[in-house]
Amino acid sequence: MTMPWFIRRILGIVPTLFLTWSIVFGVLQLIPGDPVMLALGGTPASDEVLDNERRRLGLDQPVYIQYLTFLKKMAVGDLGNGYSSKQPVSEMIAARMRPSLELALGGLLVGIVLGVALGIAAGLRPHGWIDTAMMSSALVGVSLPSFWIGMLLIYVFGLQLEWVPILGDGIDALILPSITIGLFLAGGLARLIRSALIETMTQDYIRTAHSKGLSAVRVVAKHAMRNAIIPPITLLGLQFAVLIGGAVVTERVFARAGLGSMLIDAVLTKDIPLVQGLVVYTTTAYIVINLLLELLYGIVDPRIRSRRA
């Protein structure tokens, strides 16, 4: 086939999306209880009201019709209306997306700067002092729960030193939660970059690069990093995908009205269309980001491009 490799990859996600949505639909069928009762919020209603409601939601149709209708709606982004607000779920999600996206990007930025710097420093001198210090603190960074780090940051920089606001929508209110997420990301990222770099620096082509007289910086930045970067890209991409679905704990700690807090509320109030909408949104985001990652691999490493051809 003469289709460019990236077109093939893009078309490749269609079955994945279809399968994911089917699973979401299937799981929905398994939830115990009458969806109509839940939709009415448990208020007692006559059989006639229940029947009307059932017809309105299409629940009187055979399951396969419901399934097809569901898929059709997913494909055009129609996630239905929430039980409690009666508003379109897609609009509700869109309204809460910004705080989550900002936090994800902020956390990613902190994580990349910190993780790349530490990972390279440690990877170039394995078992040196930076490496030793980094490896032990990275472990701490990853294992401390983010609510604890978040609260610590609030206490020290927000309440004691009063350097940054701890609440609000401004960019400065984003600093502490971004650090909270960033520290977590940096720990894993630094370890991954370290090991990928150690492995890459022993390759024959690194020796070739030195034999040309290139500087150590150029050898690492150009010849080693592009080869060492794929595992770290994967890690960051997948974590970003999780984050844009809302960092549940961090959003709660910093009282940010993002998707994470929305999900908690939706679960607690048994707002099924909203939960379902959030699940569809996060899984779809995950799949799309995965696709972007694949495309990125192809740009970074030509062998991946031709393997697909």
Partner 1 sequence: MAEAPLLAVESLSVAMGVTPVLEDVSFRIAPGETLGLVGESGCGKSVTALSIMRLLPNPPGRIIGGRILFDGTDMLSLDIGALRAIRGDRIGMIFQEPMTSLNPVYTIGDQIGESLIFHRGMNGRTARSETAKLLDLVGIPAARNQLDRYPHELSGGQRQRVMIAIALACRPRLLIADEPTTALDVTVQAQILDLIGRLRHELGMAVLLITHDLGVVAEFCDRVAVMYAGRIVEEAPAAQLFKQPRHRYTEALLHTMPAANPPGRKLPSISGTVPAPADRGEGCIFAPRCGFAIPRCANELPPLTEPPHRLRCWNPA
Give min distance, CB of 1 to partner 1, in A: 19
Residue 205 sits in the site that holds partner 1 (CB under 8 A): yes
Stretch that binds partner 1, among 11-19, 45-53, 62-70, 209-217 (CB under 8 A): 209-217
Nearer to partner 1, 72 or 226 (CB): 226
Question: Which residue's CB is nearer to partner 1, number 98 or number 210?
Answer: 210
Considering only 70-78, 117-125, 155-163, 300-308, which stretch makes contact with partner 1 by CB under 8 A? 300-308
Considering only the stretches 35-43, 54-62, 204-212, 283-291, report the one whose residues sit in contact with partner 1 under the rule CB under 8 A. 204-212
| Pick 2 or 211: Cβ nearer partner 1 | 211
CB 238 within 8 A of CB 285: no
Cα(78)–Cα(179) distance, rounded to whole angstroms?
Answer: 35
> Residue 292 has which token pair?
């972007």
For residue 96, give the H/E element and its range. helix 89-124
Q: Restricting to residues 210-239, which ones interact with partner 1 according to CB under 8 A?
A: 210-216, 222-223, 226-227
Assess 8 for contact with partner 1 (CB under 8 A): no
- Long-range CB contacts (within 8 A, 24+) of 3-9: 5/298, 5/305, 5/306, 5/308, 5/309, 6/295, 6/298, 8/308, 9/291, 9/294, 9/295, 9/298, 9/308
82: left (phi over 0), alpha (psi -120 to 50) or beta: beta
Contact residue for partner 1 among 69, 84, 195, 203 (CB under 8 A): 203
Asked if residue 209 binds partner 1 (CB under 8 A), the reply is yes
- Gap between the Cα atoms of 71 and 57, Å rounded: 15
Site residues (vs partner 1, CB under 8 A): 202-205, 207-216, 222-223, 226-227, 300-303, 306
